[in-house]
Amino acid sequence: MLGALTATTLAALFGAPLAFSPPLRNVMLAVLGALLGSAFTPDIVGRLTHWAGGLAVMLAYLVVMGAVAMTYFIRLGGYDRITGYFCATPGGLGEMTIIGEQEGGDPRVIPLVHATRVLLVVFMLPLYLNYIEGFDVPAMANLEGDRPPITWAELALLGALAAAGSVAATWLRLPGARLVGPMLVCAAAYAGGLIEGRPPTLLVALAQIVIGASLGARFVGLKFREVGRTMLFAAGSALLMLAGAIVVSKLTAPFLGFSATAILLALAPGGMAEMSLVALALNYDTAFVATMHIVRILFIIMLAPLVFRLLGWGRGKAG
């Protein structure tokens, strides 16, 4: 994933004539969703109540880091209050861009800040875990575990369920539908014992390459000399949020009953798909991490516009 991400980002910023296919990314997100679903074992239901503390910590993290990042963008970056607010949310690139523009924020700055944050968190977190924490982060997601190889019948069923979940979640307008829908449906199949085999390694490798490349392709058409200041401030916010996630994970791990690494992966403000892939690579509570990121996006989509209106910073009131 990091190889594809790095190559496409550099190529995009240096003006290479890149093009990317959204339908291909959607297919690979469904593949990843099916893979994440395979992490939900039949005993997962008994562990759900154990996750409540993690959800409370995540909500507190979102509120505190959102406030810190907003102050950073407004006071140090010089952005108006509306743009600074919607740049500061730790997630929701598409949703925050749309709502921020509707409220009067800068539609050029907001998506660039979020895309830069995701790229840097996705790139830096594995390096931090490898070189600072001493983890041996493998090149691709860990699929072995205790599961047998998937049979052709199971593979056909898994593909059908992933497709159905993607369509249903899109129709229901769930956030991250192309990933979340397949994950939920396939999780039910694995937790219920309907499917036992692990997804094919080749498909998962392709999914990682496509997802990494699609993240880098967001920078097509940009020139660093034109957007460098925005990207530098976005990089600063990414470092702030990642540092906050590291501190919170170490402080709360003894009380939550999870490893600090699992909590860090759950809090890290990278992409839902990308952070789930890192959890898979490390084989660290993948179901917990994936679920926390789904709830993170839901929290942001529901609470960020509400808090914005409570602040009274509507269109025309930017400071």
Q: Identify whether the C-beta of residue 153 lies closer than 8 Å to the C-beta of residue 276.
A: no
| In a domain? residue 273 | yes
> What is the rounded average pLDDT for all residues in the chain?
84
- Domain containing 159 equals 2-13+20-311
Mean pLDDT across the stretch 211-231? 81
| Complete DSSP assignment for 155-170 | HHHHHHHHHHHHHHHH
pLDDT digits (tens, 9 = 90+) for 148-178: 788 899 999 999 999 999 999 889 887 678 8
- On the question of pLDDT at 68 being above 90, the answer is yes
| In a domain? residue 188 | yes
| In a domain? residue 149 | yes
* Total domain count, the chain: 1
Quote the pLDDT of residue 267: 93
- On the question of pLDDT at 79 being above 90, the answer is yes
| In a domain? residue 137 | yes
| In a domain? residue 319 | no
| In a domain? residue 139 | yes
What distance in Å separates the CA atoms of residue 207 and residue 200, rounded to the nearest whole number? 11
Q: Identify whether the C-beta of residue 122 lies closer than 8 Å to the C-beta of residue 129.
A: no
**35-74 burial code (b ≥16 CB/10 A, e <16):** bbbbbbbeeeeeeeeebeebeebbeebbeebbeebbebbb
pTM of the model: 0.76
| In a domain? residue 72 | yes
Taking the CA atoms of 228, 233, 234 and 239 in sequence, report the sign of the dihedral they define.
positive
Quote the pLDDT of residue 164: 95
Neighbours of 299 (CB within 10 A): 19
Mean pLDDT across the stretch 200-210? 82
> In terms of pLDDT, which residue wins out, 291 or 249?
249
| In a domain? residue 316 | no
Quote the pLDDT of residue 43: 65
Instruction: Determine which helix (DSSP H) or strand (DSSP E) holds 183, and give its type and residue range.
Output: helix 177-191
Residue 106, SS3 per DSSP: coil
pLDDT digits (tens, 9 = 90+) for 5-48: 888 888 888 888 888 788 888 888 888 888 888 877 766 666 66
What distance in Å separates the CA atoms of residue 319 and residue 305, rounded to the nearest whole number? 18
Quote the pLDDT of residue 140: 58
The phi and psi torsions of 198 (rounded to 5 degrees) equal: -80, 145
